[in-house]
Amino acid sequence: MKKIIVPIDFSEHSEFALEAAANLAQKYGSELITLHMLELSHAIISASSDSLTQEESIYHLKLAAQKFEDFLDKPYLKGIEITPIVKKFKVWSEINDVAKENDASLIVMGSQGASGIKEVLVGSNTEKVVRHSDIPVLVIKHNPILLDFENIVFACDFTEEAITPYLNAKITAKKLKAKIHLVYVNSPDGNFKSSSEIDKTVANFLKKADGNLDSLSAVNVVCDYSVEKGILNFANVIGADLISIATHGRTGLAHFFEGSISEDIANHSTLPVMTFRI
């Protein structure tokens, strides 16, 4: 975890993400790349030959740089190597380009106004980053009072396409010195399976993933009314510190949460969420 990217929009929730990233950087000696994506109008970005629009662009960049400097003046950032970047952008997928250019291993983002896993990740700027990111994205919803990841829930459907996210989640859990709990939610709004079908699916998955059937003991089958409710209930029962899930880049996350969502359960989901792209 050498480099961590933190997109900053100067909101309270991006400060939550910054503090969480600082916590991780202190523990693992990581460099923080703080990134402000400056949303200028298309006319300003495109009209590079126009001196007036060039001046306006420079003005906005300088203004953002000063605001950035003030925002990063935090006591919890002392002693951490920080590389601030202010970048003009047109689409949120450009954050993934910055991650590639800097060989980053994690993106930490804040998410505002969201109650459940679906609301955190679907139909938001966070979801746009998750959809295009080739590296894990850690989504922080609240002020990170404590950020000790001792127990991590990894939820997936144990199909072959989830193997790479699973292996990446295992690597991340090892780095965080955390125990990983695998969970399969058997629900009416998903592909409901019999116990024998689930056992066979999970065994085949682990054989193809790393050939380690000892991991069967870490697999938990949960029956619930929806996938999200099953994940949240299980995370609550074991006292999880982080929920991690495999996601599709092309289709986003909506497919993972089809069906109704229990707001009573979702509103209590204050846990960070980490996504691993399929």
Give the integer Cα–Cα distance in Å for 106 and 23: 13
Same domain, 269 and 152: yes
Give the integer Cα–Cα distance in Å for 106 and 175: 12
Residues, the chain, total?
Answer: 278
Number of domains in the chain: 2
| Residue 140 falls inside a structural domain | no
| Residue 116 falls inside a structural domain | no
Residue 51 maps to which CATH number?
Answer: 3.40.50.620
Domain that holds residue 82: 1-110
Residue 243's closest CA among 140, 127, 145, 158? 140
| Residue 138 falls inside a structural domain | no
Same domain, 169 and 244: yes
Name the DSSP class of 275: E
Distance of CA 166 to the CA centre of its chain: 15
| Residue 232 falls inside a structural domain | yes
Same domain, 150 and 272: yes
Domain boundary among 61, 84, 110: 110
Domain boundary among 95, 110, 125: 110
Same domain, 66 and 7: yes
Same domain, 149 and 195: yes
Domain boundary among 84, 110, 136: 110
pLDDT tens track of the chain, all 278 residues? Answer: 799 999 988 888 889 999 999 999 998 899 999 998 776 544 444 545 555 466 666 766 777 778 888 888 999 999 999 999 887 766 667 888 899 999 999 999 887 655 555 555 444 677 778 777 889 999 888 877 667 889 999 988 898 989 999 999 999 999 888 999 999 999 887 678 999 999 999 999 999 998 888 878 889 999 998 888 899 899 999 999 999 888 766 544 444 444 333 233 333 457 888 888 87
Name the DSSP class of 162: G
**Where on the phi/psi map is residue 164: left (φ > 0), alpha (ψ -120 to 50), or beta?**
alpha
